[in-house]
Structure 1
Amino acid sequence: MKRLYILISFLCLIGAATAQNSNQNYVVTRTMLNESSSSYLDVVKYYDGLGRLCQTVHNQVTPQKNNLLDLSEYDESGRDVKDWLPVYSSSAYLSASAFSSTASGNYGSTARPFNQSVYEASPSDRLVAQYGPGAKWSDKPMTTDYMLNGSSEALSCVHYSVNGSTLVNGGSYATGELYVVRTQDEDGNTASQFTDKQGHTVLVSQLNGTVRHDTYYVYDDYDNLCYVLPPAMDGNISTASLNLYAYQYKYDRRNRCVWKKLPGADAVSYVYDLNDRLVFSQDGNQKSRGKWMFYLYDDLSRLVVQGECANTNTSTASARSVACTCVNTATGLGNSGYSSDFALTAPVVYLVNYYDNYDFRTLPGFNNSFFSAETVSAKGYLSGSVITVLGSDTKLYSANYYDKKGRVTKTVSSNLLSGYETTTTIYTFTGKPASVKHVHMAAGKTTQMEIYTYTYDHAERLTKVEHSLNGVKVTLAANTYDELGRLSGKSLHGSASNKLAYAYNIRNWIESISSGGLFNISLYYGYNGNVSRMVCRCPGDNKTYGYNFAYDNLSRLTSAQSLIGGIITLGYATNYSYDKNGNLLHLRRGGQTGLSGTGIIDNLSFTLNGNQLKAVNDDATATASNGFEFKDGAKLATEYTYDANGSLIKDLNKGIEIQYNLLNLPSQVKFSDGSTITYTYGADGVKLRTVHKIGGVTTTTDYCDNVIYENGTAKQLLTEEGYVSLSDKKYHYYLKDHQGNNRVVTDQAGGMEEANYYYPFGGVFLSNGNDVQAYKYNGKELIQRRD
């Protein structure tokens, strides 16, 4: 537990040994970093004679053990008008003039390293402009105007209300009935928020050019949100329009949401007991099957059992308190050891939780040596759980063990390969992980034991991550920081050649990530923070690839000009247009059509039904050399079909049909040639297995925590910085860009194995090296048909 010692001093009451400025009022907060109190961090807050915070000093917190200081300045009315960015200095306190001089040294003499606030000249002291840090923004403030609604186009607002269960258009609000706050960002994009006298936001209106995009919020007499009407409705509140676009909610007499309908999906119903606990829910797919999800709780209203049932009397639960009792015998619901006083019809249990103790260890699945007895009480904590593997009768069992401070020190869980995952964590004095040991076991397989060791500097910044696999230790990453505390460098596998350097602008936005000849990316920004240009170079290329980005007034990407070697070309350019809800209406995309040529590979027009894609027409004739282009395989009026929950179940262009589990996660993708991709999930939504059956060839991928098997053979062990190929125990590292996309995969010596260039929304338009692993855009696994 952190120990905080707060020393309060006014003027000269604390001795000079504390190194604070004794001519100022201050409060010192000391955070102990070890049990002997020999290591600590001090934060000193200085106040002026009116009790206003004027300066905060983090003592010796920078990598070079300088102090980190920030300063606030006030006007004669006591308003905060200037907040300086942090500066580093050996001084314990800086006057305003000394702070300004130090800031010039830290950021540059023309950097303008402060936020400036401007207030209206009235007793209300309302903020009308904010200038962010940076000389480039000296004439680019965020502004705020305060108004009342009126009859003009810009200030009008429709008065929607709820009459029973009906949405009513009552015409426009009378002039002066609503408060309007209009904000404008640094690029001139505006948004107006309309608020009624009860404080409800009834309208948010944004301008794209001169076109209003209005989102309305409608409440009942009890202040419950009943409707959200998005811009595409454009005032049409017919039943058909509401079903296509609106978010709709209904409540019972106790103001609990009992009915919810999202756009393009059937309604979801909810039932609560007398203790206001959700005990039943039913979505559109379940309604067609006559099923309900049930939720049962213990005496402390903690969820203990969740599953599906076929009751027809669920509404009667609202008149009683539904109780669930733990009997700790292999009986009750799904032999979970729990029984309910509300009779359930054909219950199927998917999730079971145990709390406070480990009495569940006598139940089937837990009665083995892997689930040890407690050494510290788990009172008040989740101690065990049972997860059903969806689509089967298989159960996965887990237990959590705690220390006296309530921190999880050990978890044991079974996996789909008849083995166990055991994770043990040791913490520092302040609660950061010092080491994490993970042991993976599977029936008939080699045990994998890995240990992470974490090293921190004097200010609790992570400086080194070491990884040991089956007794062989390597340094995964060594981090360095600049004097403002920002990550400035990362060395992978202890290699000087495999090192990333980070640079930032004055607003701490990443300007560049570089790794010598392995990977370099430069970023440029608009005034409001949207990326305006990105230039990237990966191994194997003697030229750079990048984009110039353009946005509309709603910050939606409208075009990405392709830059090859710094020259604007057709190349891999993309263009987009949208409807009022932000759905794509048109996409034009360039791509590589041969060894060196490029052309338009996609010229797509989208037909929508509400927010759902109905059909796609492609006017492009060229094909991409990597097969990435859209395949217009149907040319029908309706090419996409959805289920009652709004999930896509048929795509005629790709020739696939999709099935889903009760969590609305895909359970199978079936292709027109009979090939399938099948997914297995636990009831907690964790993916456990993928099976590709393509052309008579079956490939099974199992996910056991961070250990990945392919056809029964351990293939990869994922690490914090990449993965280990288990066939040769070699480390591989991801070099990521500002979005977390895996741009380059290197071997442990720093050699390039794979390099990827991405379209703005994630497609790969160019790759170098081999396709050695599946984790690409945003670091997510890309699952493709394996022909």
Structure 2
Amino acid sequence: MEILLKNLNITINNKINIMRKILSIGFICLFFSNLFSQTLPSAENYIYSRVYLEPVTTESPNAKQIQGVQYFDGLGRKKQEVSIKSTPNGGDLVIPSTYDAFGRNMKNFLPIPQNTLNGNIHQVGESDINSYYVTSNAYSEKELESYSIGRVKQSAFPGEDWKKNSGHTVRYDYDISKSTDNVKKYTTTTNWDAGNKIFVSSISYTGNYGNSDLYKYSVTNEDNNTEYIYKDQLGHIVLVRKNEGTKYIDTYYVYNEYNQLSYIIPPLTEISGSVNQTTLDNLCYQYKYDDQNRLVEKKLPGKGWEYMLYDKQDRQVAIQDANLREKGQWLYTKYDKFGRVAITGISTGNTRNIEQGLVDLQGLNNVNRINTVYFNRQGIDVYYDNPENSYPKSPNWVTLLSLNYYDTYPEYSFNPSFPASILGAPVLTDNAAINGESTKSLPVLSLIKNIEDDNWTKNYTYYDKKGRIIGAHSINYLGGYTRIESGLDFAGTPKQVITRHKRLNADTERVITETFTYDYQNRLLVHKHKVDNNTEEVLAQNKYNELSQLETKKVGGINTATPLQTIDYAYNIRGWLTKINDPDNLGYDLFGYELEYNNPANESVAPKKYNGNIAEVNWKTSNDEVLRRYGYQYDQLNRLKKAVFQEPGTDLPLNEFYNENLTYDVNGNITKLERYQKPETGTTPLLIDRLNYTYNGNKLTRVFDSSGNYDGFKDDIVSGGYDSSDDYAYDSNGNMIRDDNKKISSIKYNYLDLPTEIIFSDNNKIYYAYRADGTKIRKTKVTYYAGAGSSSNEVIEYLDGFQYQGDSYGGSTPSPKLLFFPTAEGYYNNNINIMVNPYAPAVPAYIYQYKDQVGNTRLNYYKDQNTNSLVIDNESNYYPFGLEHKKYNTQIGNSNYQYKFQEQELQKETGWYSFKWRNYDPGIGRFFNIDPLSEKYAYQSHYNFSENRVTDGRELEGLEYIPMSDEQIQDILERHPDAHYDIIDEIPVFTLGTEDIEGVTISREKSESDLRVDADAEPGIFDSEVGEAVRFGLGFVPGVGSGLDIYEGARDGNWVQFGLGIGGLALDVATLGAGSIIAGGAKGLVREGIEKVAKDVAKELAEKESKDLALGLGDDLFNFAEHHGYNTYRDFSSGFNKNKILDAMNEYDNIHFNTTGFGKINFSRFNPNGPLSFRNYTNWEMHTIFNNPSLLNKTTFYNKAADGSYQILNNYSPFIK
């Protein structure tokens, strides 16, 4: 039997009745056809899947396609997965499965390439796989406590150093608390404030928990660092405890009487006895709720209170932080009837209670899309009506910020001509009368205002007949545009991307044409790039190993036979990158880089690391061919505490010329930093920084440098005096507004907490301008010449990745010229002569870049057209926290291009690196603004940079630290059984127990700059796939922006940005290989070809046939369901959906209700006629069952016993307290 779903077909050979559990045939239409040209074994049970990558009308074995087979034994257990002809050489990738005497799958094997058998089962065993990987354990393995309990005791990983009982596995322990654990007990007293319509809690310390009061879990990682998690009997996480080596690092979670999270107490807080409000305000997270269980007030440490308003549909309609409150303003959002963000803006308003009362009067509180202009604000017509029947009303409006249109394109006078087709593909119109197809439900236009003026950016999105984005047209605030046209193949992979750009509408259009060539599995092979009518450049040629890891990349040149550089990559058995070229044997390579994890060359200064931390890096460039090395030392929280610089092979191999040493407080605030530099003469490292930090809470107030040297950090105290006065001041939102060390007298911020004006003590100024979505569009540097009584202006414009610069003197108007724009392998310099002779004719050049594992630009080079030789434009080497090395290989290069540390732009005037949402100072290793996502990282200071983990991950937009590899992400999940992994804003997020904390996950509001508490929801297929790409796709999209445009655009409602990023997925492959994009290497190919294609479809159908539904609370629900093989709402719904769950309760044969953690007292207060939200849906489920005899009759109730087993409860009733 064969099922055909669009370009997917699945064949099922069903030999035994139990296989109907795997896939039910009766739910979709079937037709019979012959199997593909190869015959699969009739004696086997299997699911065969095929995804065509090019159009076919009949089945074709020769068409581009992804094929896979899953074989099952007689008990319905998977025994082998085969990804057919998926390796670069046309072989199969095979993953066998084995089971122990109890039928448990205890080993997960790495994939092994084999000569193709056209889908037939392979005779591959454990010894074959071990031989291929040259190890005795080419698999991950788990050890359980016992068969009856089945809890994981130990997890081992591939490779000799990680095998079971090696001492470098992950170990788990399950226990109950003891009084000697000294776990503090905090309680709250909560009262209803009728005047403000809010519950107000006070907190007090009431001693310690005693014996057996809490569940205790511990996880010990591969480096023997242990983390403890304590939960109360309701399943709430009470304490997350880490061991720093000499002391515990404790983060407490405190709940009120209604089981709502009320306080988070980070490690730096020391509370005993009565609670000091100053301590709470400076160091703790505080939350308040209304009578609808909605979070309406919150306070982050060191930041003023923030308020939230909700309409009757529980949509957040306005937020106010402390800075907005000082102005009497609110940031509002208006929705259409489908709950889509239509309008955002700023309004005036009163107190939260008064404004909430006004919201409550609005009823539906929607705006309606119309076809005529209803009003005009800030110079833009608005095609939405009903503004007076939605909050806020027009008399209170201060400014519009953004408009989002869906379904149909409004008839603006500035609309570009609508394209009938894009690169040969017909464009989907908004007229459903044409073939019954239209853009209904799709975002079509987003208008975003500049914050500082009333100019707008207009972003259009165009789709093909399949609803795929093939065009994006952005009219910038100056009147020019950037237009992206993507030619997609049948599978949606870009074959060609054309970018058209103008700064001003009157300018000459620049045209960038990119073409992509793929293999039969759509792995990118060749990426070519052409600017205007110039000669086409070959940016990259990729070659993959049989595991689909990028093996070789040939970079640059105009001929595929003569690349500028050939870059080789190597990996260890864990899939971790180990080499970029070979620093011990450069040959013709300009740069070589090596990473050591568990096998450092100099273990005396770089202890072996087994948990994915990097122990050592080695590098060499052709500039001087000196091998250089950093050895890293970490504390038990993975924070870098020492980087030891070495030059192996020299007379003084351990010279420590560029050491960096750090100490931290328990919140991760740096307390001391020492930094060294190569001396002018002699061999003694030159101390350039000995910094001592002083804090008020987490706010840095003073840095004193006792080194007496100003090559590093520059203290405002000169002549070696003691710095006793505060250097820094902050506003009510926790933003730094003064920096005496940098002679900054004041900084002003916009409502996104982005700096708009920096004034120096010498009256020099810097002005920044942004769009309302936070995109920086302009920087103006004003320099005053006191003696001459004149000034000069330097203007930098940022237009969709195209960077312009213009200078003026004496008040004249600058005329910015194009400097450069990014490519997938570096950037295109519009005039290589500008630094040598700006008056000479412009000579463009492709600048190529070597980057390290965290994206630092290490070496820029290009081909000199006159000498036909390679020229190193500049080399950059860094201390771990980002300050650049001096005194060697210091070519000036293109000083206009300042994208260096983690590919962020260095602001030369301040020494800051400009991440999208915050500015970072590498001199002192911290941000000067509060992390917008700090609630997800409450265990540390929200000014920390990348959790002080600067070697094995990167800082994403100034928001959060992202691990380096997908394998590491999986490792984290395996190390933390209580961890939750979510795609939030298409960003991978790990949290410990947020589902336990009242089932909430803290995330960024999609259209606003604030944070909110969202109901926990499973990521959809779009989120997870884009999130996969985002983790690896950090390179720039040519001529546009970065691969992050995809998820940024979707997150922020910037649909043209979303469109601009589409072409970037292919370019991410160019940098990191297709294996990276599809779930991390060759195993990902199998998952892509089999799991996603076949297993997910089979799973969806099988779920409809399951007879048992599990209900309950949080994590314990899913543990309970998995233990018994029951379904939960996650099997048929993306997040909680009342109607879907009600249908399931009626349709399933049996209901199994896990009452562990269920609060009968809260149930007694449940109002079945009140609003339903994530906070009370379990109460709703229970109420529904007990008020429906047919549901109650088929429900069995359970509770978890002390030994972890689930016991059936007889005569259970939630009404019995």
Equivalent residues in 2 for 1:601-680, closer than 5 Å: 601-624=688-711, 628-633=712-717, 635-656=723-744, 657-680=746-769
Which residue of structure 1 lines up, in the alignment, with residue 829 of structure 2?
Answer: 725
Q: Secondary structure at the match of 1:104?
A: helix
For the residues of structure 1 that align with 2:707 and 2:646, how far apart are their CA atoms?
22
**Per-residue CA distance 1:556-584 (angstroms, 9 max, x = gap):** 11111111236222300011111111110
Which residue of structure 2 lines up, in the alignment, with residue 454 of structure 1?
Answer: 516
Kindly state the Cα deviation for residue 167 of structure 1 after the two structures are TM-superposed: 2.0
Contact 1:667-1:678 at 8 Å conserved across structures: yes
For the residues of structure 1 that align with 2:679 and 2:508, how far apart are their CA atoms?
46
Which residue of structure 2 lines up, in the alignment, with residue 542 of structure 1?
Answer: 625
Which residue of structure 2 lines up, in the alignment, with residue 18 of structure 1?
Answer: 38
Summarize the Cα distance change of 1:532–1:381 in structure 2 as closer, same or farther, 3 Å threshold: same
Q: Secondary structure at the match of 1:379?
A: coil
For the residues of structure 2 that align with 1:162 and 1:458, how far apart are their CA atoms?
65
Kindly state the Cα deviation for residue 122 of structure 1 after the two structures are TM-superposed: 4.7
For the residues of structure 1 that align with 2:631 and 2:464, how far apart are their CA atoms?
53
Kindly state the Cα deviation for residue 750 of structure 1 after the two structures are TM-superposed: 4.2
Q: Secondary structure at the match of 1:733?
A: strand
Letter in 1 for 2:411: R
Summarize the Cα distance change of 1:182–1:512 in structure 2 as closer, same or farther, 3 Å threshold: same
Is 1:106 the counterpart of 2:132? The answer is: yes
For the residues of structure 1 that align with 2:682 and 2:89, how far apart are their CA atoms?
51
Bigger mean CA deviation after superposition, 250-259 or 178-187: 250-259
For the residues of structure 2 that align with 1:306 and 1:539, how far apart are their CA atoms?
53
Kindly state the Cα deviation for residue 533 of structure 1 after the two structures are TM-superposed: 0.5
Equivalent residues in 2 for 1:250-265, closer than 5 Å: 250-265=288-303
**Per-residue CA distance 1:392-440 (angstroms, 9 max, x = gap):** 1111212111122222221111113321111111212112222221100
For the residues of structure 1 that align with 2:633 and 2:668, how far apart are their CA atoms?
16
Contact 1:706-1:719 at 8 Å conserved across structures: no
Which residue of structure 1 lines up, in the alignment, with residue 242 of structure 2?
Answer: 206
Kindly state the Cα deviation for residue 317 of structure 1 after the two structures are TM-superposed: 3.3
Which residue of structure 1 lines up, in the alignment, with residue 67 of structure 2?
Answer: 42
Which residue of structure 2 lines up, in the alignment, with residue 129 of structure 1?
Answer: 154
Summarize the Cα distance change of 1:191–1:16 in structure 2 as closer, same or farther, 3 Å threshold: same
Kindly state the Cα deviation for residue 202 of structure 1 after the two structures are TM-superposed: 1.6
Equivalent residues in 2 for 1:481-520, closer than 5 Å: 481-494=544-557, 495-514=562-581, 516=586, 517-520=589-592
Is 1:563 the counterpart of 2:646? The answer is: yes
CA RMSD, aligned part only? 2.4
For the residues of structure 2 that align with 1:331 and 1:43, how far apart are their CA atoms?
56
Summarize the Cα distance change of 1:2–1:662 in structure 2 as closer, same or farther, 3 Å threshold: farther
**Per-residue CA distance 1:441-498 (angstroms, 9 max, x = gap):** 1324332111222222111212221112113322111111111111111111144441
Which residue of structure 2 lines up, in the alignment, with residue 9 of structure 1?
Answer: 13
Equivalent residues in 2 for 1:266-345, closer than 5 Å: 266-312=304-350, 313-319=354-360, 320-321=362-363, 322-327=365-370, 328-329=372-373, 331-334=375-378, 335-339=381-385, 340=387, 341=389, 342=391, 343-344=393-394, 345=396
Letter in 2 for 1:544: L
Q: 1:777 aligns with which of 901, 921, 939?
A: 901
Contact 1:415-1:704 at 8 Å conserved across structures: yes
For the residues of structure 2 that align with 1:682 and 1:200, how far apart are their CA atoms?
41
Equivalent residues in 2 for 1:189-204, closer than 5 Å: 189-204=225-240
Q: 2:439 aligns with which of 368, 373, 378?
A: 378
Q: Secondary structure at the match of 2:89?
A: coil
Which residue of structure 2 lines up, in the alignment, with residue 697 of structure 1?
Answer: 792
Kindly state the Cα deviation for residue 547 of structure 1 after the two structures are TM-superposed: 0.9
Kindly state the Cα deviation for residue 596 of structure 1 after the two structures are TM-superposed: 7.5
Letter in 2 for 1:260: K
Contact 1:159-1:173 at 8 Å conserved across structures: no
Equivalent residues in 2 for 1:399-414, closer than 5 Å: 399-414=460-475
**Per-residue CA distance 1:118-140 (angstroms, 9 max, x = gap):** 11125111100011111122302
Summarize the Cα distance change of 1:367–1:497 in structure 2 as closer, same or farther, 3 Å threshold: closer
Greater per-residue strand proportion: 1
Summarize the Cα distance change of 1:288–1:496 in structure 2 as closer, same or farther, 3 Å threshold: same
Summarize the Cα distance change of 1:596–1:717 in structure 2 as closer, same or farther, 3 Å threshold: farther
For the residues of structure 2 that align with 1:459 and 1:106, how far apart are their CA atoms?
23
Bigger mean CA deviation after superposition, 161-170 or 129-138: 161-170
Kindly state the Cα deviation for residue 592 of structure 1 after the two structures are TM-superposed: 3.4
Structure with more relative contact order (C-alpha pairs < 8 Å, separation 6 or more): 2
Letter in 1 for 2:256: D
Bigger mean CA deviation after superposition, 422-431 or 183-192: 422-431
Where do 5+ consecutive residues of structure 2 fail to align? 20-33, 192-200, 421-426, 431-437, 598-608, 785-790, 807-815, 832-842, 864-868, 912-1217
Bigger mean CA deviation after superposition, 349-358 or 236-245: 236-245
For the residues of structure 2 that align with 1:537 and 1:180, how far apart are their CA atoms?
48
**Per-residue CA distance 1:514-556 (angstroms, 9 max, x = gap):** 1743111111111111111111112312312221100111111
For the residues of structure 2 that align with 1:433 and 1:16, how far apart are their CA atoms?
28
For the residues of structure 1 that align with 2:428 and 2:44, how far apart are their CA atoms?
53
Contact 2:429-2:439 at 8 Å conserved across structures: no
Q: 1:736 aligns with which of 846, 851, 857?
A: 851
Is 1:710 the counterpart of 2:805? The answer is: yes
Letter in 1 for 2:403: V
Equivalent residues in 2 for 1:744-783, closer than 5 Å: 744-748=859-863, 750-766=870-886, 767-772=889-894, 773-783=897-907
Q: 2:183 aligns with which of 156, 174, 178?
A: 156
For the residues of structure 1 that align with 2:313 and 2:893, how far apart are their CA atoms?
55
Which residue of structure 2 lines up, in the alignment, with residue 347 of structure 1?
Answer: 398
Q: 1:591 aligns with which of 677, 694, 700?
A: 677
Letter in 2 for 1:647: N
Contact 1:272-1:317 at 8 Å conserved across structures: no
Kindly state the Cα deviation for residue 102 of structure 1 after the two structures are TM-superposed: 2.8
For the residues of structure 1 that align with 2:334 and 2:227, how far apart are their CA atoms?
44
For the residues of structure 2 that align with 1:146 and 1:157, how far apart are their CA atoms?
20
Summarize the Cα distance change of 1:297–1:122 in structure 2 as closer, same or farther, 3 Å threshold: same
Letter in 2 for 1:171: G
Kindly state the Cα deviation for residue 769 of structure 1 after the two structures are TM-superposed: 2.2
Letter in 2 for 1:742: T
Summarize the Cα distance change of 1:289–1:636 in structure 2 as closer, same or farther, 3 Å threshold: farther
Kindly state the Cα deviation for residue 737 of structure 1 after the two structures are TM-superposed: 1.0
Where do 5+ consecutive residues of structure 1 fail to align? none
Contact 2:285-2:301 at 8 Å conserved across structures: yes
Contact 1:735-1:742 at 8 Å conserved across structures: yes
For the residues of structure 2 that align with 1:496 and 1:483, how far apart are their CA atoms?
23
Bigger mean CA deviation after superposition, 636-645 or 21-30: 21-30
Contact 1:539-1:768 at 8 Å conserved across structures: no
For the residues of structure 2 that align with 1:2 and 1:638, how far apart are their CA atoms?
66
Which residue of structure 1 lines up, in the alignment, with residue 774 of structure 2?
Answer: 685
Summarize the Cα distance change of 1:474–1:173 in structure 2 as closer, same or farther, 3 Å threshold: same
Count of aligned pairs: 779
Is 1:89 the counterpart of 2:114? The answer is: yes
Q: Secondary structure at the match of 1:411?
A: strand
Bigger mean CA deviation after superposition, 740-749 or 205-214: 740-749
For the residues of structure 1 that align with 2:39 and 2:687, how far apart are their CA atoms?
67
Kindly state the Cα deviation for residue 718 of structure 1 after the two structures are TM-superposed: 1.4
Letter in 1 for 2:145: E
Q: Secondary structure at the match of 2:742?
A: coil
